[in-house]
Structure 1
Amino acid sequence: MKSHIRAFVDDYLGEIIEGSAAIFAGAGLSVPAGYVDWRELIRPLSEELGLNIQLENDLVALAQFHVNASGANRHKLHKAVIEAIAADNPPTENHKLLAKLPIQTWWTTNYDRLIENSLRAAGKVVDVKSAVPQLATTRPRRDATVYKMHGDVDRPDEAVATRDDFERYPKERGAFVNALAGDLVSKTFLFLGFSFTDPNLEHVLTRVRLTFANNQRRHYAVFRTRTRLAEESEADFEHFKLRQTFVIDDLRRFGVRVLTVDDYAEITEFLRELVDRYKRRTVFVSASSVDFGGWSEKEVDEFIQTLGRSLVAKGTRIASGLGVGIGDSLLSGALREVLKNNRTVDEALILRPFPQAVQGEDTAELWERYRQEILSHAGIAIFLFGTKDVDGALALSDGMRREFEIARSQGVAVLPVGGTGGMAEVLALDAQQDPEAIVPELGNDGRKIIEGLQRRPESPSELIEPLLQAIQFLQGGKK
């Protein structure tokens, strides 16, 4: 990954954690899903006018020309919007990745439903704003708000498309301008698939720049490095390549830093990095023990409480099913740190205590769904001890084995602490045998890290430091 993109990931991840990140999506984000860009959408209208769309730069004017030639009748323009966008094409991988992030504010000039559909597929409650009256209402318990500032495919008669529409925009849809200006001041935007030729956005950016001068918030945009097109002359290519450098430089006036990529696949790569690193802020703790690994109950209690306190102190959120013999200690340690730093419980803990009293044929299915759900929140899973009582005899925890398997199937990085014995030791031995397959996230240090956690110390508390170092390694996004 390029150094300037890695620096962006570090910065934007911080904004996501703080709840200050926003997305602005342009047509380029929707094209890979099978939708056409604005140029292709109005190509039939251009042909009706006898104009070559490839020679046109002002596409808003072209849409206006067609309405003028039709006696102010917008029917064909509306029809073009519906025919090009009405189908519910499936979201792209980039949409799916973005939807996994806890980003609450989304802006777009697109008419399609890709953003809201991908958010809903991720289980989120979405509040869509495509008309001014909708700005005055708020959907209860919303996870994300999507502002469709140019309208929606369901309301093609209200789509902002012609020069008339843009000229009337401040009067008829000025509330969107005010809302966007406010978000540009309070949030850090990532512009994706956007060419910065929209006059409404330019107006808002200018307003923010003039108001805040040298105190503008930093934003980011992604541009693909200009490459030579088929049948494009060398002179034309050099012209447009140079022009792109001037556009990138000019955007700095508005606090927009451009991230250049050579291929659009790089966008998917850094979005996946963002998702992985965000999820790794949540650590799933799989632990259960009935013999405490041969240590005293007091030693294990101190070890688990210290682990809970240490994880929360470093800004990590703990997810746990509160395993037998371990859960209370983990919860006690974590809660002490939560109260000490005036954090909310929800910020620090995701608790899914297993309903031990449940009996019946559907118990296994219930527990499986329980495990799948809680692990979906985590990016790292650690495994401690792993023993249980079966008819008075000590046995390895098959539930821990299943949680390990689910974690790997979901792409969760695993850290079996073999030094605690039990099933955790079995899992650690497996990881040592094939670190590239089981702990690939640890890179070349995988076997060394697992071996460090495999050693059995005199006191379990001696495992705290190497375990926290391994977690920090994974949370740092190192490969």
Structure 2
Amino acid sequence: MKLRVKQFVERYLKEIVEGNAAVFAGAGLSAPAGFVDWRELLRPIAEELDLDADIETDFVALAQFHRNKHHGNKGQQNQLLIERFGVPKDPTVNHNTLARLPIATYWTTNYDDLIEKSLSAQGKTPDVKYTEAHLALTRRGRDAVVYKMHGDVSNPQDAVLAKDDYERYHLKRAAFVTALSGDLVSRTFLFLGFSFTDPNLDYILSRVRLNLEDNQRKHYCFFKKRTKLPGETDEAFKNAVVRQELVIADLLRFNIEAVLVDEYAEIDEALQLLHRLYRSKSVFVSGSADTFDPWGRAKVDAFGRILGSELVKQGYRVVTGLGIGVGDALLSGVVDQVYRTSRNQLDDAVLVRPFPQQIADGDREAVWKRYREELIGEAGIAIFLLGNKNENGANVIADGMKQEFEIAAREKLMVIAMGTSGYAAKEIFDEVAAAPDTFMSDLSAEAKAAVLRLGELNAEPHVMVSEIVKAIATALKK
């Protein structure tokens, strides 16, 4: 059975949230960045052997034929790896999308450094393993482990490329076999840009299948539906379609379900949807107050407590900088809900990052801007409340809250501004209401209407919170 994209996203998102997700990257993931696949990598070698690279399918054997011709010398092959993979390139959109998700395990047969570069660009620390010695060490403060089972371009002499390398793999890299076997048992993999022709992976999958029989963990992969190539005969095309169907059916032996797409762009969209839905599990609450009118202090406190409690109750994580006058009530609602129900760990229910106050005046603006960007980047929904502060004895609009709105809008968060609370929240709501298609382009007409109603709603706190929860649920139905 082939999964629809929506089914895959729902299932894999659950694994991401629970910390069980892993990625296995093949050459197809790096190709859009400008790196070559095996055919293009070995084209010069094929020409030297008087073979046609466009016809060849067994590239492991092709590399071995070339090595045999040179009496086992790997110098030319090492140089090819350096030339084709040693030139720095930028990670693709898909690399960056994956890096923004809380995925801690990556496996790849690629020699390039795009996975670790994308993780570093997101402020994460990758622990890269491409020799057995690396497996025995742990990088301090790591956020993700990147296993490069065929080696790295920085160490081309030990790269896995030809038959000799594959035949000796289980002797020279036995620890990689053990590590991958363990991850296939304990984690749910998404195979990306992978053709499933790698002998090492086939051996490891087979060993896991034989050991676990009918108790294998579910994994997923993407396949682009085979289309007719230019100049391809009807007979050859029919054979290719049938073969793809047979490969997909065979993968079920290893409990790998295929997601069949018509265009590669659908894979990009699926990964972006995964990221958007993951972020929508977290709600950023922005609010600060020195003056509490027109709602009054009692109503603001009640709203904050009920909002924090209800968001956690509905399965959301609350993200907040703990704004003055608002943050304590919000946090109290979160903690009370967590401790009363014992259904959540506190760390899973809330991300609190109070703003550091003792930053030098010349650095504060830049530091706080980055601080806000990282905090808001954790969420998919933003709620704005009040937004005023005391400045030289006068009550003024909180410019930091306006900056948070700008960041949220740029990151395409769903913005809910409680306009009737006044101040910055009122200005934000007016801006959204004046250009709903600009600020709510990703929302359905029903969700847009719900957001606009919230901006004008002034009711009892429990009523307003109930309407917020409904609006969020409406938006996520899309």
Q: Does 1:385 align with 2:386?
A: yes
Q: How do residues 158-237 of structure 1 correspond to structure 2 at under 5 angstroms?
A: 158-237=158-237
Partner of residue 373, structure 1: 374
Distance 1:125 1:362, change over 3 A: closer
Tell me how far 1:264 sits from its aligned partner.
1.1
Q: Does 1:130 align with 2:127?
A: no
My pick for the range that moved more, 179-188 or 438-447, is 438-447
> Which string of whole-angstrom CA distances, capped at 9 and with x for unpartnered residues, describes residues 51-76 of structure 1?
12222221111111111111111111
User: One-letter code of the match for 1:140?
Assistant: R
Q: Does 1:400 align with 2:401?
A: yes
Whole-angstrom distance in 1 between the partners of 2:311 and 2:130: 42
> Which string of whole-angstrom CA distances, capped at 9 and with x for unpartnered residues, describes residues 135-162 of structure 1?
1111122111011111111111111111
Whole-angstrom distance in 2 between the partners of 1:294 and 1:444: 30
Distance 1:213 1:328, change over 3 A: same
My pick for the range that moved more, 327-336 or 288-297, is 288-297
Whole-angstrom distance in 2 between the partners of 1:207 and 1:461: 56
State TM-score, norm by structure 2: 0.94
My pick for the range that moved more, 180-189 or 71-80, is 71-80
Is the 8 Å Cα contact of residues 386 and 422 (structure 2) preserved in structure 1? yes
Q: How do residues 7-406 of structure 1 correspond to structure 2 at under 5 angstroms?
A: 7-340=7-340, 341=342, 343-355=344-356, 360-390=361-391, 394-406=395-407
Q: CA RMSD in A?
A: 2.0
Whole-angstrom distance in 2 between the partners of 1:108 and 1:369: 32
Is the 8 Å Cα contact of residues 111 and 153 (structure 1) preserved in structure 2? yes
In the comparison of the two structures, how many residue pairs are matched?
Answer: 476
My pick for the range that moved more, 413-422 or 204-213, is 413-422
Tell me how far 1:374 sits from its aligned partner.
1.9
Is the 8 Å Cα contact of residues 120 and 126 (structure 1) preserved in structure 2? yes
Whole-angstrom distance in 2 between the partners of 1:294 and 1:28: 57
User: One-letter code of the match for 1:436?
Assistant: D
Distance 1:62 1:319, change over 3 A: same
User: One-letter code of the match for 1:462?
Assistant: V
Unmatched tracts of structure 2, length 5 or more: none
> Which string of whole-angstrom CA distances, capped at 9 and with x for unpartnered residues, describes residues 76-132 of structure 1?
111111111111111111111111111001001111111111111111111111111
Whole-angstrom distance in 2 between the partners of 1:202 and 1:447: 49
Distance 1:323 1:163, change over 3 A: same
Is the 8 Å Cα contact of residues 287 and 323 (structure 2) preserved in structure 1? yes
Distance 1:212 1:275, change over 3 A: same
Partner of residue 444, structure 1: 445
> Which string of whole-angstrom CA distances, capped at 9 and with x for unpartnered residues, describes residues 158-182 of structure 1?
1111111111111111211111111
Whole-angstrom distance in 1 between the partners of 2:296 and 2:27: 62
Partner of residue 421, structure 2: 420
Q: How do residues 449-468 of structure 1 correspond to structure 2 at under 5 angstroms?
A: 449-468=450-469
Q: What secondary structure sits across from 1:294 in the alignment?
A: coil
Is the 8 Å Cα contact of residues 432 and 450 (structure 1) preserved in structure 2? no
Is the 8 Å Cα contact of residues 23 and 190 (structure 2) preserved in structure 1? yes
Unmatched tracts of structure 1, length 5 or more: none
Whole-angstrom distance in 1 between the partners of 2:85 and 2:420: 57
Is the 8 Å Cα contact of residues 431 and 447 (structure 1) preserved in structure 2? no
My pick for the range that moved more, 428-437 or 65-74, is 428-437
Q: What secondary structure sits across from 1:146 in the alignment?
A: strand
Q: Does 1:473 align with 2:468?
A: no
Runs of 4+ in 1 over 6 A off after TM superposition: none
Distance 1:447 1:221, change over 3 A: closer
Is the 8 Å Cα contact of residues 166 and 199 (structure 1) preserved in structure 2? yes
Is the 8 Å Cα contact of residues 446 and 474 (structure 2) preserved in structure 1? no
Tell me how far 1:361 sits from its aligned partner.
4.7
Distance 1:362 1:29, change over 3 A: closer
Is the 8 Å Cα contact of residues 416 and 455 (structure 2) preserved in structure 1? no
Q: What secondary structure sits across from 1:325 in the alignment?
A: coil
Tell me how far 1:376 sits from its aligned partner.
2.1
My pick for the range that moved more, 82-91 or 337-346, is 337-346
Tell me how far 1:357 sits from its aligned partner.
6.7
Q: What secondary structure sits across from 1:184 in the alignment?
A: helix
Whole-angstrom distance in 1 between the partners of 2:265 and 2:90: 18
My pick for the range that moved more, 124-133 or 331-340, is 331-340
Q: What secondary structure sits across from 2:416 in the alignment?
A: strand
Q: What secondary structure sits across from 1:315 in the alignment?
A: coil
Is the 8 Å Cα contact of residues 283 and 318 (structure 1) preserved in structure 2? yes
User: One-letter code of the match for 1:23?
Assistant: V
User: One-letter code of the match for 2:33?
Assistant: A
Tell me how far 1:240 sits from its aligned partner.
0.7
My pick for the range that moved more, 422-431 or 350-359, is 350-359
Whole-angstrom distance in 2 between the partners of 1:236 and 1:93: 34
Q: What secondary structure sits across from 2:389 in the alignment?
A: strand
Whole-angstrom distance in 1 between the partners of 2:300 and 2:88: 54
Whole-angstrom distance in 2 between the partners of 1:359 and 1:184: 49
Is the 8 Å Cα contact of residues 63 and 162 (structure 1) preserved in structure 2? yes
